[in-house]
Amino acid sequence: MDKDFREEEFTEVIKFTPPLYKQRYQFVKDLVEKYKPKKVADVGCADCRLLWMLKFCSCIEVLAGLDICASVMKEKMHTLSPLPVDYLQPSERSLTVTLHHGSIAHKDPCMLGFDLVTCIELIEHLEESELKKFPEVVFGFMAPSIVVISTPNSEFNPLLPGVVLYRHPDHKFEWNQAQFQSWALDAAKCYDYSVEFTGVGHPPRGMENVGFCTQIGVFVRKYPQTGESVQSEKPPEAVYKTVFKAVYPSLKDEKYLQNAVVSEVIFTAQNIKHHLMSKHEEEEDGDDPERKSRFWPSVDYFSDYLRKLVVDQTMEPFVNGNEVYIPLVTIFSFPKVNRLCGTFEKLCKLIAGKVTLSSDGSAVVFNTEHE
Ligand code: SAH
């Protein structure tokens, strides 16, 4: 794999900061920030580094990698698995990460439906026959809204001492700017895309005419995909092998949403209860602010909030003997609970049987005796 294995060795002469591969990945990340694609496929994903970076982009819900070399993909694919923190604090978005073993020269239905397809330092590794099929598979079959393709610019090579023919022994060719642009423009024209050229890795001052070290084409589909164009052909048989799949815990999944809501309801109710109890203590101890803050350091926020909130009697928490009643409407009006549940009915549904409620179901009840 490419990891700038030689580009970075040439640092005596040309030093790229950050390293060129990171600049390429950053370029893709910026593109994701700009277009906010939900489904992204990285073709020639190698050791999944770009995919790993992309999993932190909150707009992405589906990430897929494809590589012809299963062993390089497997090396670090564990880094794409959810971490314990993802289970402790499930994200609001859903995220599925899948890795497929196969060649971009073949069509597979699992590659349909993507918004962005990235091919970073891939095409120069393709055999002539594969390169020939590439436009039809990527632009014609996958047909995402955006395709980004990066490849070495051979005009830059004389500035990289040590490069005899190509920058990497597995490269089948390296194109100059005119060659890449002519290939890209042909593909764009054939499949109704527009293309803009840019790159990363600036040439030294005074040598601007050689262009970027890595040349990049960003292709944008001209027309939205219609249902007709999607279904006009019978989908091909599956030929790729799925080697990895991770479904991240998400609040879109009712199971995780219920856990989050129950925890938040109990946390909120407990804070309100502390507020009430501290008021009781205050009344008993006189007005000793030091004592109050010593026992209930987080109460002030709730006191203020509750004061603003409790406009009618039905929302007011109260103590009855050993029991503290905190109306669900009060809990529902707290921003986080409100945002998680959306509606009051949903709140009631999610906490049913999970939190102790008053007999009419309108309030959370704590028994202070059992604490
Ligand atoms: N995109 C990565 C890796 C680039 S190296 C990066 O920027 O670091 C090119 C990768 O393409 C290799 O991992 C190689 O195994 C893969 N590759 C080569 N031919 C392929 C093909 N026909 N289909 C899919 N992947 C291919």
> Does 270 lie in the same domain as 238?
no
> Does 219 lie in the same domain as 357?
no
CA of 44 to the centre of ligand 1 (A): 3
CA of 73 to the centre of ligand 1 (A): 10
Residue pLDDT, tens place only, 143-189: 999 999 999 999 999 999 888 899 999 999 999 999 999 999 999 99
Q: What is the mean pLDDT of the chain?
A: 89
Pocket test of ligand 1: the residue of 67, 110, 131, 168 to mutate, having most ligand atoms within 8 Å of its CB, is 67
Classify strands 96-101 and 241-247 as parallel, antiparallel or unpaired.
antiparallel
CA of 244 to the centre of ligand 1 (A): 17
Decide if 13 is inside a domain.
Answer: no
Ligand 1 atom 18, closest CA: 125
User: Which CATH number covers residue 219?
Assistant: 3.40.50.150
Decide if 192 is inside a domain.
Answer: yes
CA distance 70 to 87: 28
Across 13-27, 67-81, 191-205, least confident range:
13-27
> Does 258 lie in the same domain as 243?
no
Decide if 216 is inside a domain.
Answer: yes
CA distance 187 to 45: 22
Closest-CA residue to 147 (of 49, 61, 98, 216): 216
Residue 170 lies in domain = 20-225+233-248
CA of 32 to the centre of ligand 1 (A): 21
> Does 82 lie in the same domain as 26?
yes
Classify strands 318-320 and 323-327 as parallel, antiparallel or unpaired.
antiparallel
CA of 298 to the centre of ligand 1 (A): 54
Q: Is the pLDDT higher at 276 or at 74?
A: 74
> Does 332 lie in the same domain as 206?
no
Residue pLDDT, tens place only, 72-82: 999 999 999 99
Q: Looking at the DSSP assignment, which residues form a beta bridge with residue 194?
A: 220
CA distance 276 to 283: 11
Look-up of token digits 């939190």: 355
Give all strands of the β-sheet with 39-43 in edge-to-edge order.
193-200, 214-221, 146-152, 116-120, 39-43, 62-67, 96-101, 241-247
pTM of the model: 0.86
> Does 149 lie in the same domain as 36?
yes
Q: What is the mean pLDDT of residues 26-38?
A: 98
Q: How big is the chain by its Cα radius of gyration, in Å?
A: 29
> Does 242 lie in the same domain as 276?
no
Ligand 1 atom nearest the C-alpha of 44 is: 11
Across 5-9, 89-93, 198-202, 362-366, least confident range:
5-9
> In this structure, what DSSP letter does residue 333 have?
T
Residue 166 gets the label, from left (phi > 0), alpha (psi -120 to 50) or beta, of: beta
The tokens describing 319, both together, are: 């103590």
CA distance 133 to 114: 19
> Does 166 lie in the same domain as 26?
yes
Decide if 344 is inside a domain.
Answer: yes
Q: What are phi and psi of 196, to 5 degrees?
A: -125, 145
> Does 157 lie in the same domain as 96?
yes
Number of domains in the chain: 2
> Does 337 lie in the same domain as 259?
yes
> Does 266 lie in the same domain as 244?
no
The total of other beta-carbon atoms located within 10 Å of residue 272's CB is 25
Residue 147 pLDDT = 98
> In this structure, what DSSP letter does residue 172 have?
S
Decide if 97 is inside a domain.
Answer: yes
Residue pLDDT, tens place only, 323-347: 899 999 999 999 999 999 999 999 9
Decide if 72 is inside a domain.
Answer: yes
CA of 55 to the centre of ligand 1 (A): 19
Is the C-alpha dihedral spanning 175, 177, 183, 184 positive or negative? positive
Q: Are 247 and 192 in contact (CB under 8 A)?
A: no
Question: Does residue 2 carry a pLDDT above 90?
Answer: no
> Is the backbone peptide bond immediately before 235 cis, with ω within 30 degrees of 0?
no
> Does 166 lie in the same domain as 267?
no
Torsion of CA 121, 1, 40, 186, to 10 degrees: 30
Ligand 1 atom nearest the C-alpha of 122 is: 9
Ligand 1 site residues (CB inside 6 A) read 1-3, 21, 43-44, 46, 66-69, 72, 103-105, 120-122, 125-126, 130
Residue 164 pLDDT = 86
